[in-house]
């Protein structure tokens, strides 16, 4: 069975997801994986997983859409796959738009990895995104949602529930060894933020609260770069900006902290949360998107109300190292029960075989 995975800008969390999926699918000898991604802004990390990688020339703009569609469908004709597994919104447009006007010869599985119409944006934009997704769902055989929140919202907005399936993301239970030696102050509660420094991830919101309460027993470490200019804000007495960190070193930072903070304004899943849980760390999250599915109050972390930031202040002011360690043990158990890579890979494989 030939499976052609198609993406647009494949980097960050999407690249991690695809690497886990393609690597895991190698155990199934009846699956032959191909990968087609944008040459621009996509990671080149696929040689140890599959030699069958294609790139198309594309930079995101309206005028480049038809060129991308042409290149992608030329590869589809060449590979002649049994299944097209298309990842993310723009790739979903490139693949499915032509099949509104011509007969398709292959099964199409679409995985948005977070619906565009659930972003914090204007209602007229949300309505446009919903309309486009409804139209493009016509030639789609199955739609994979990455959380119950995403699935329930998609059904609420009128997408075909009979085409929906929910499959949680997963990561390997493998802790990367690193030569880093992090000399963080053990007398402080060390919080860690991992993610893009953009509006979605809510770091600005957290910093605003954090600056006002001035809790001297907490130090925040920030891993990530700006999506616009890659310039980092200035370090302060209470905040250290670490910039981009190599993936092989990331577990060292998770293990050094006491808890991870995810103040996202919206989140389709939350890969950082399960990476933290794998490393025995509790997570402090907003009550937005899928995060309350992953984190339960006083069990494997804390949830604050985005509409009542006093709830965040209350959580921060009561943080205790010994309690955080207990929550971290629970977090690890929940990770092993629900978010292992093998479970993700098996669920995808069974979907292919339907």
Distance between terminal CA atoms of the chain?
12
- Please report, rounded to a whole number, the percentage of residues in the chain having pLDDT higher than 70: 99
Query: In the prediction, which pLDDT does 225 show?
Result: 82
What phi and psi, each to the nearest 5 degrees, are found at residue 189? -85, 115
Host domain of residue 254: 189-338
Q: Are 120 and 200 in contact (CB under 8 A)?
A: yes
> Are 193 and 91 part of one and the same domain?
no
Query: What pLDDT, on the 0 to 100 scale, is given for residue 231?
Result: 65
Query: What is the C-alpha separation between 298 and 300, in angstroms, rounded?
Result: 6
CATH number, domain containing residue 143: 3.40.50.2000
Residue 311 CA to residue 27 CA, distance in Å, equals: 46
- What pTM, to 2 d.p., does this model score? 0.89
Q: b or e along 81-105 (b: 16 or more beta carbons within 10 Å of the residue's beta carbon)?
A: bebbbbbbbbbbbbbbbebeeeebe
Q: What is the pLDDT of residue 221?
A: 97
Say if residues 250 and 176 touch (Cβ distance below 8 Å). Answer: yes
The reply to whether 146 and 43 lie within a common domain is yes
Number of domains in the chain: 2
Q: Does 179 fall in a domain?
A: no
At residue 75 the predicted structure's pLDDT band, cuts being 50, 70 and 90, is very high
CA 81 and chain centroid, separation? 26
Does residue 175 lie in a domain region? no
Q: Which residues of 280-295 are buried (b: 16+ CB within 10 A; e: fewer)?
A: bbbbbbbebbbbbbbb
Q: What is the pLDDT of residue 76?
A: 98
CA dihedral (312, 315, 318, 324) positive or negative: negative
Taking only the tens place, the pLDDT of each residue in 97-109 is: 999 999 999 999 9
| Sign of the CA dihedral with 70 first, then 43, 22, and 269 last | negative
Judged against a pLDDT cut of 80, whether residue 23 lies above it is answered with: yes
Q: Which of 64-78, 97-111, 232-246, 285-299 shows the lowest per-residue confidence on average (mean pLDDT)?
A: 232-246
Looking at residue 180, its pLDDT comes to: 85
Tokens of 130: 């919903």
- Residue in 269, 283, 336 with CA at minimum distance from that of residue 13: 269
Nearest to 157 by CA among 122, 133, 140: 133
Residues 198 and 314 grouped into a single domain: yes
Q: How many CB atoms lie within 10 A of CB 185?
A: 9
Give a yes or no: residue 127 inside a domain: yes
Same domain? 235 vs 300: yes
Residues 139 and 254 grouped into a single domain: no
- pLDDT of residue 50 exceeding 70: yes
pLDDT tens for residues 125-140?
999 999 999 999 999 9
pLDDT of residue 183: 85
For residues 221 and 257, is the Cβ–Cβ distance under 8 A? Answer: yes
Mean pLDDT along residues 32-41:
95
């Amino acid at each position: 069975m030939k499976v052609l995975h198609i993406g647009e800008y494949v980097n960050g969390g999407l690249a991690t997801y695809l690497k886990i999926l393609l690597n895991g699918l190698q155990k199934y000898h009846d699956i032959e994986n191909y990968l087609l991604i944008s040459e621009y802004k996509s990671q080149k990390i696929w040689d140890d997983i599959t030699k069958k990688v294609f790139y198309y020339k594309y930079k995101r703009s309206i005028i480049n859409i038809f060129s991308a569609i042409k290149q992608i469908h030329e590869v589809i004709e060449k590979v002649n796959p049994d299944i097209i597994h298309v990842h993310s919104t723009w790739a979903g447009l490139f693949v499915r738009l032509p099949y509104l006007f011509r007969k398709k010869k292959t099964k199409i599985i679409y995985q948005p990895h977070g619906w565009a119409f659930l972003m914090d944006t204007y209602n007229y934009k949300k309505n446009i995104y919903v309309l486009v997704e409804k139209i493009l769902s016509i030639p789609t055989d199955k739609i994979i949602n990455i959380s119950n929140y995403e699935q329930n919202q998609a059904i609420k907005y009128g997408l075909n529930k009979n085409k929906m399936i929910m499959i949680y993301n997963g990561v390997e239970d493998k802790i990367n060894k690193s030569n880093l030696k992090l000399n963080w102050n053990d007398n402080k509660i060390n919080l860690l933020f991992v993610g893009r420094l953009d509006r979605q991830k809510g770091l600005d919101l957290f910093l605003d609260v954090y600056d006002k309460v001035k809790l001297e027993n907490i130090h925040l470490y920030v891993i990530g770069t700006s999506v616009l200019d890659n310039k980092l804000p200035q370090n302060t007495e209470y905040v250290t900006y670490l910039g981009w960190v190599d993936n092989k070193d990331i577990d060292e930072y998770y293990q050094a902290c006491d808890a991870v903070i995810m103040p996202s304004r919206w989140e389709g899943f939350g890969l950082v949360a399960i990476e933290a849980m794998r490393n025995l760390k509790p997570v402090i999250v907003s009550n937005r998107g899928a995060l309350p599915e992953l984190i339960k109050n006083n069990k494997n972390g804390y949830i604050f109300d985005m509409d009542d930031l006093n709830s965040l202040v209350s959580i921060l002011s009561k943080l205790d190292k010994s309690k955080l360690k207990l929550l971290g043990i629970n977090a690890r158990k929940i990770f092993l029960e629900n978010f292992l890579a093998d479970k993700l890979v098996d669920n995808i494989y069974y979907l292919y075989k339907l």
